Homo-oligomer: A and B are copies of this chain.
Amino acid sequence: MKPDYIYLDHAAATPLDERVLEAMHPFFSELFFNPSSPYAPAIAVRRAYEDAKARIAQTIGAKGDELVMTAGATESINLMFGSVSGHVVTTTVEHQAVLEAAKRHDHTLVAVDEKGRVAPDAIFAAIRPDTVLVSVALANNELGTIQPLRKIAETCEAVRRLRIEAGNATPLVFHTDASQGVGQIDVNVARLGVDAMTINAGKVYGPKQVGLLWTSRSVRLTPQVVGGGQERGLRSGTENVAGTVGFARAMELADAHRKSESERLAKLRDALEKELITGHPDAVISGDHKHRLAGHLHISFPGIDAERVLFMLEREGVLVATGSACAANKGTRSHVLEAIGLAPEVADGSLRLTLGRLSDEVNSAAAAEAIIRAVRMEKDRMAR
């Protein structure tokens, strides 16, 4: 069934894949047993749960028993930050969950360049002898800018070597929130070089309210939620079997189609970008042209009011975002756009267009036309 709207907000939420829902279904009804119960049907549910964790782990190059299943990326991030005490380093363009979790610690926010990219050297400079955690998102949710995680990992490794030489036993954990990257870029933890990684099923056509925190065996977590001792004592509460099974299917699908899907999206995105710039040559593209998520297009039409354009587009059935969905309701300017130094009149005219599985050539072309028309009407209105 094709929807009657054109959805260009895949970074805010993705529809649940039908195949994922199908995989979850048995665990809603006939396989509803508590995985801690001792009889065979419950043990089968326990096995399905552990198997789903192992399958998720495989898609990131890890083991199932290195995962803590959570209710989403925000909880995962809070679990990671709540497990350390000491100074933490992160960037000015992180998701609100990381920024708020960082505020509970002595912290340094590292600035980014005008493309939203953080320099590994700047991370190095911010690390102090008492720094215990570095957290950098794999890709920025507003701009789509991909961070140089591999280089930052090497920086962290260099710090660890220097600490050994200096007799400083403080451990340093490098965590990434990879929620925005899964399905578009490789999230193999060894290749990324991270010690801890957060991902979210709801951003990858999986069920909402399901996420995980992966940590390498060297990282010690402190449970935030205590009780029955599930998840190796790190996150109590009856396991989310249906959600985890769905997450596994979603990760497998994302992994299987990652290369072809990101090529397809980049092509659609580039065509959309070209159309919009042709229609409005004064448009400003933000983010890193070279290091950018395939489905992301952050475009500003200087001087116009993006919110008005958003509502004009909505009437034509084109759904877009002006900024991060999390901040959308608050009427404040995006902290990411401030961080990259976008002039206020440019920032206020920004649309975030994020393509995904609901995007195709036909609806992307129709969206381009609608956006060009809406921006033109808004420019005309303001010129009067």
Residue of B15, B227, B314 near A97 (CB, 8 A) is: B227
Determine the chain B residues whose CB is within 8 A of the CB of A71 once the complex forms. Answer: 70-71, 75, 209, 237, 240
Within 8 A of B (CB), among A187-239: 202, 207-210, 224-229, 236-238
Q: How far is the CA of A383 from the CA of B79 in the complex (A)?
A: 53
Q: Is the CB of A229 within 8 A of B30?
A: no
Residue of B13, B208, B227 near A78 (CB, 8 A) is: B227
Q: Is the CB of B328 within 8 A of A227?
A: no
Select the stretch in A32-40, A165-173, A273-281, A338-346 that faces chain B: A32-40
Q: Is the CB of A328 within 8 A of B208?
A: no
Determine the chain B residues whose CB is within 8 A of the CB of A33 once the complex forms. Answer: 9, 12-13, 319
Select from chain B the residue with minimum beta-carbon distance to A46: B329
Q: How far is the CA of A310 from the CA of B208 in the complex (A)?
A: 36
Q: Is the CB of A96 within 8 A of B229?
A: yes
Q: Is the CB of A38 within 8 A of B322?
A: yes
9 more contacts with CB within 8 A, not counting A16-B32, A71-B75, A78-B236, are A3-B30, A12-B42, A13-B37, A37-B319, A37-B325, A38-B322, A71-B71, A97-B236, A227-B326
A129 at interface, CB cutoff 8 A: no
0 or 1 for each of A18-44: is its CB under 8 Å from B? (1 = yes): 100100000011101110111111100
Expressed in whole angstroms, the minimum distance between the Cβ of A371 and any Cβ of chain B is 14
Determine the chain B residues whose CB is within 8 A of the CB of A103 once the complex forms. Answer: 226
Within 8 A of B (CB), among A69-87: 70-75, 77-78
0 or 1 for each of A100-122: is its CB under 8 Å from B? (1 = yes): 11011000000000000000000
Range of interface residues on A (Cβ < 8 Å): 35 or more
Residue of B34, B72, B320, B325 near A237 (CB, 8 A) is: B72
Q: Is the CB of B100 within 8 A of A226?
A: yes
Within 8 A of B (CB), among A364-380: none
A14 at interface, CB cutoff 8 A: yes
Number of copies: 2
A269 at interface, CB cutoff 8 A: no
A243 at interface, CB cutoff 8 A: yes
Q: Is the CB of B226 within 8 A of A78?
A: yes
Determine the chain B residues whose CB is within 8 A of the CB of A21 once the complex forms. Answer: 28-29
Determine the chain B residues whose CB is within 8 A of the CB of A242 once the complex forms. Answer: 207-208
Known pairs A16-B28, A40-B314; A325 contacts B34 (CB<8 A): yes
Select from chain B the residue with minimum beta-carbon distance to A227: B97
0 or 1 for each of A47-79: is its CB under 8 Å from B? (1 = yes): 000000000000000000000001111110110
Residue of B5, B238, B325 near A41 (CB, 8 A) is: B5
Q: Is the CB of A75 within 8 A of B319?
A: no
Q: Is the CB of A241 within 8 A of B100?
A: no
A146 at interface, CB cutoff 8 A: no
Determine the chain B residues whose CB is within 8 A of the CB of A322 once the complex forms. Answer: 38
Expressed in whole angstroms, the minimum distance between the Cβ of A203 and any Cβ of chain B is 9
| A to B CB contacts below 8 Å, 14 in the list | A9-B34, A13-B238, A16-B28, A21-B28, A36-B325, A36-B328, A37-B321, A37-B328, A39-B319, A96-B227, A97-B227, A101-B226, A209-B209, A228-B326
A95 at interface, CB cutoff 8 A: yes
